[in-house]
Chains A and B, each alone.
Chain A
Amino acid sequence: MASVQEKFTEMTWPSSPEKATLEAKNKFLGFWFFLGGETVLFGSLFATYLALKDKVPDSSHPLAKDLYSMDLTFAATMLLLTSSLTSVYAMYHMKNFNFQRMQAWLLITVLLGAAFLGLEIYEFNHYVHEGHKFTSSAFGSAFYSLVGFHGGHVAFGLLWILSLMVRNAKRGLDLYNAPKFYVASLYWHFIDVVWVFIFTVVYLMGMVG
């Protein structure tokens, strides 16, 4: 019986470490189920946003087409899409049992994610100055809830990946932490999936009117 603490070399490293033990298989499947639930969560938030889009108390409040800027959204989108690719690279090196490279790519992922978060904070701050606040209208509440929930997911993902990196910096890869890295990268891709819909439904469609 293989133990999760066993030391591996690149020769003995299994080809699918994310599913090599029963614990790993459970984690893998449970996380996918969780993502199924998250889909409904974001679906409900999108639905609420669409129902409340441009619903403001009076005409002094800015509407979607007055607010959103294409440059900012484009930059944020590129950052997050690229971070999705870098986490794929990290998992590529994980499968090849190259711990150092995996850590390096994860670090790049985290930096890109942090840059995305910085842009989002800048954007929110900008909107607040334009009079588009969480408490100013139903539109504001719905916008900040949807985009803020996504931003919260990004922030949590950053903390998660960072703590995994720090935690395992000295231990290297084994069958106990490989599934954790894999699942964290799934989470990161899922955040990207949600963002694809956010930039399309919220920003681009908002600009079209």
Chain B
Amino acid sequence: MENLRPNSANPKADLNYRRKKNAEEMRYQVVSFALMIFLTLIAFAVVHFEGFSHWFVAPFIMLLAVVQVIFQLYYFMHMSHKGHETPQLFLFSGLSVALITVLTFVTITWI
């Protein structure tokens, strides 16, 4: 298999560019981590503060979880990068099957 090596005339410049790009990406990762922690804090706070109705809390913290998982998948697991089309297709297919399963078990399992 051919090696996907950069063919720049000046390898030093190329290295510096890649370093910078990686560092920049790492910054995004830290930002998304901060957001994830923030979302987690909100979720725990909403449950901790007992004034909210059950009908508000359950869907709301589910929404927070979904947003957080999108951060995990697209930033931490690099699904936003190029070349992840097939992984996306299969992950979301798996997710659909999982969702249908969950839906079934909360609706038509107890009769």
- B window 49-86: CB within 8 A of A: 54, 57-58, 61-62, 64-65, 68-69, 72-73, 76-77, 83-84, 86
List residues of chain B with CB within 8 A of the CB of A96. Answer: 18-19, 22
Interface of A is mostly: helix
Give Cα A193 to B77, complex, Å. Answer: 10
B72-A40 in contact (CB<8A): no
Give Cα A186 to B47, complex, Å. Answer: 30
- Provide 7 A-B residue pairs closer than 8 Å at the C-beta atoms, listed in order of the A residue: A11-B12, A39-B91, A39-B97, A50-B105, A85-B76, A92-B26, A189-B72
Give Cα A197 to B40, complex, Å. Answer: 11
Q: How far is the CB of A150 from chain B (nearest CB, A)?
A: 14
List residues of chain A with CB within 8 A of the CB of B18. Answer: 15, 95-96
Task: Pick the contact of B76: A32, A38, A40, A189 (CB < 8 A).
Answer: A189
A70-B47 in contact (CB<8A): yes
Residues of chain A whose beta carbon lies under 8 Å from any beta carbon of chain B: 1-2, 10-12, 14-16, 19-23, 25, 29, 32-33, 35-40, 42-44, 46-48, 50-51, 70, 73-74, 77-78, 81, 84-85, 88-89, 92, 95-96, 175, 186, 189-190, 192-193, 196-197, 199-201, 204-205, 207-209
